Amino acid sequence: MKIKSLKLNNFKLFSKESFVFDKINIIKGINKDDSAQSSNGSGKSSILEAIVYSLYGEGSGKNLADLVAFGAKHLEVKLETDSFSVIRKIPNTLEISQNGVEVQFNTATLKQNWINDRIGSYNFFKKYRLVNKQAINLLDLGIVSLRKELMTFIDSDFSGIRQNLLNKKLERETYNVSKKLYTFYLSEKKWNLLREAELNLDADIKNLKDQQRILLHNQSEFTGKIRSIDYIIKNNKDVAEQMKTKKCPTCGTVLGTEKIAAIKGKSADELTKLNEEKTQYQTQLESLQVELEYVEYNLQQARDKYSKVTSLLMKLGEAKKFADYKYTKADVELYANAVKVLDEFSGWFIQQWLDNLSVIINDLLQQVNLSVTFSADKQFITLTNENQTLKYEQLSSGQQIFLNAVFKLAIMLNNGITDGILIIDEGIGNLDLINLHKLISILQTLNFQTFLVYQNINIIENVNVIEIEREHNQSHVRTN
């Protein structure tokens, strides 16, 4: 992918501006709002930020709202490549066109995935296509982190293959023919019958529990009525006994036998009636008890059957998992050996990858009389300049940026990535013109499209120089 043009509308200090790009593009600028007429704040890096924003919707660590020009309510960035074009706006809108036809997706996420499939993810872009102080410069990570980062990048393909082999090995270990569950007879008809029985038993249990609840309620009600009758009978007996010694409240004489007999006779009628009611309740209670015992017996039988059915269904369910896996111990050993072979091969491949990387990066660095050696020892990476061993920290910041750019180029080339864009911002200004020319000469031999911010340059052959001028808080392309 190569970027052909970029159009900005209300992007930071650019009110409305267009840019046309070539293979190698150097951006310089002047800030006339600064009394020193320096390049700081002229808008050079804003062009690079606009490219990143158009492709990924990211603000290079900034709040997206800060990308909108002061006083404006929206922005629009249109980027055209040799294979597709992107229009991204704030408020959030993303449009993609290919061959003049809009690419239709339901969500912005799907649209972004479409872009990522063609140019790589934002994380990949930051790691391998962006060189600045905010991006991940691999050589700045330190030896341990660099080793881990490179191993992750190299080992990604092997990790997927290895995990797949381990999953297959575990699958064969779990669903081996020697497993007991596999011997359980698997029958679809039996499964359906048991499933139907489970549903019927579940309904029966619910129905019996409802019956049990009603019977228990009635039992409690009848028992309460019998207790009430017993209380009344006892109370009547106590009253009759007390009447034997009672005196007439009017004349004060002791009540006679006839009076007592009359009172007792009346109490006897009440007691007879109450005893009859009690007998009826007791008969009903006994009937309820028999019915309750019958319901509880059926309920327990249904629960036992339900437990057996669900147990069988569980075994059948487990057996279903094993139906398609008829492996032997030899199958397990086959995959275990495959993992061992892959581990041995991946170790060899990683060393070969590093050796190839060393050849590529040294081929790129020979113009600046530097060479790199990778090793398995603690140092891991050694820089040599005219037979003198150097530490990375001993290089100037410009040389470090230069080396990081070449290092990332070498990694991409070593992994078959031969085109796309490379952005170099901040710090390269410390690189002298001689080494800048050498870096550009390296880039001209490759198929990458490069964007560099570098101030102290006038004319270089086959390089597109874009001059930015800021005046009255507005940035625009400077015209001669």
List pLDDT tens digits, range 429-440: 667 777 788 888
Task: Give the model confidence (pLDDT) of 445-471 as tens digits.
Answer: 889 999 988 877 666 777 888 999 999
Which CATH number describes the domain made up of 3-164+335-477?
A: 3.40.50.300
CA 350 to CA 359: how far, in whole Å? 14
Q: Name the percent of the chain lying above pLDDT 70.
A: 83
More confident residue, 150 or 95: 95
**Chain mean pLDDT for the chain:** 81
How much is the pTM? 0.60
Please compute the mean of the pLDDT values over residues 371-384 and round it to a whole number.
74
Residue 71 pLDDT exceeds 70 = yes
- Of the spans 119-133, 236-250, 314-328, 388-402, which averages the highest pLDDT? 119-133
What is the per-residue pLDDT for 392?
Answer: 77
CA 73 to CA 303: how far, in whole Å? 70
Among the listed residues 200, 197, 203, the one whose alpha carbon sits nearest the alpha carbon of residue 308: 197
The token pair that represents 262 in the structure block: 């009359």
Among the listed residues 436, 397, 446, 447, the one whose alpha carbon sits nearest the alpha carbon of residue 28: 436
Q: What is the DSSP letter of 21?
A: -
Residue 402 pLDDT exceeds 90 = no
Task: Give the model confidence (pLDDT) of 74-87 as tens digits.
Answer: 999 999 999 999 99
Q: Name the percent of the chain lying above pLDDT 90.
A: 17
User: What are residue 43's phi and psi, to 5 degrees?
Assistant: 115, 10
Task: Give the model confidence (pLDDT) of 321-345 as tens digits.
Answer: 656 556 777 888 888 898 888 888 8
Residue 442 pLDDT exceeds 90 = no
- Kindly indicate whether the domain formed by 181-322 is annotated with CATH number 1.10.287.510: yes
What is the per-residue pLDDT for 181?
Answer: 47
Residue 55 pLDDT exceeds 80 = yes
The token pair that represents 414 in the structure block: 């070593």
Cα atoms found within 13 Å of the Cα of residue 147, Cβ hemisphere only: 12
Please compute the mean of the pLDDT values over residues 372-400 and round it to a whole number.
75
Which regions of the chain carry the CATH code 1.10.287.510? Answer: 181-322
What is the per-residue pLDDT for 98?
Answer: 92
Residue 5 pLDDT exceeds 90 = yes
Which regions of the chain carry the CATH code 3.40.50.300? Answer: 3-164+335-477
Task: Give the model confidence (pLDDT) of 160-194 as tens digits.
Answer: 788 888 888 887 777 665 554 444 555 677 778 88
The token pair that represents 456 in the structure block: 């102290």
Cα–Cα distance list, 21 to 436, 451, 453 (Å): 19, 9, 14
What is the per-residue pLDDT for 41?
Answer: 84
